[in-house]
């Protein structure tokens, strides 16, 4: 599975993109948990969904402190969605 980092899609730059799975993975910092950040993410996710892209979001704490759990979620997504 090929993943691209910092991939431009529409007017956004997504953290990770896997075209074979139509998958976007976002690693969110604290700015994403403000009212404005949550609304911006909702609009962004909606726009990406119109391209048939699925978005998995993880906060930085999960990525830094629970990476095995993050990898497992991604693995299970790919396993379930693979033809």
Domains and CATH numbers, the chain: 4-81 (3.40.960.10)
Q: What mean pLDDT do residues 3-7 have?
A: 97
Q: What mean pLDDT do residues 2-18 have?
A: 97
Q: Whole-prediction pTM value?
A: 0.85
Q: What mean pLDDT do residues 36-44 have?
A: 90
| pLDDT for residue 82 | 80
**DSSP state, 30?**
G
Specify burial of residue 17 (Cβ count, 10 A radius: 0-12, 13-18, 19+).
buried
| pLDDT for residue 32 | 56
Q: What mean pLDDT do residues 28-35 have?
A: 70
């Amino acid at each position: 599975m090929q993943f691209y980092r910092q991939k431009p899609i529409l007017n956004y730059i997504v953290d990770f993109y896997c075209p074979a799975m139509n998958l976007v993975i976002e690693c969110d910092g604290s700015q994403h948990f403000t009212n404005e950040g949550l609304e911006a993410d909702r609009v962004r996710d909606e726009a990406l969904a119109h391209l048939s892209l699925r978005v998995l979001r993880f906060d930085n704490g999960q990525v830094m402190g629970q990476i095995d759990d993050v990898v497992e979620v991604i693995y299970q997504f790919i396993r379930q969605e693979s033809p």
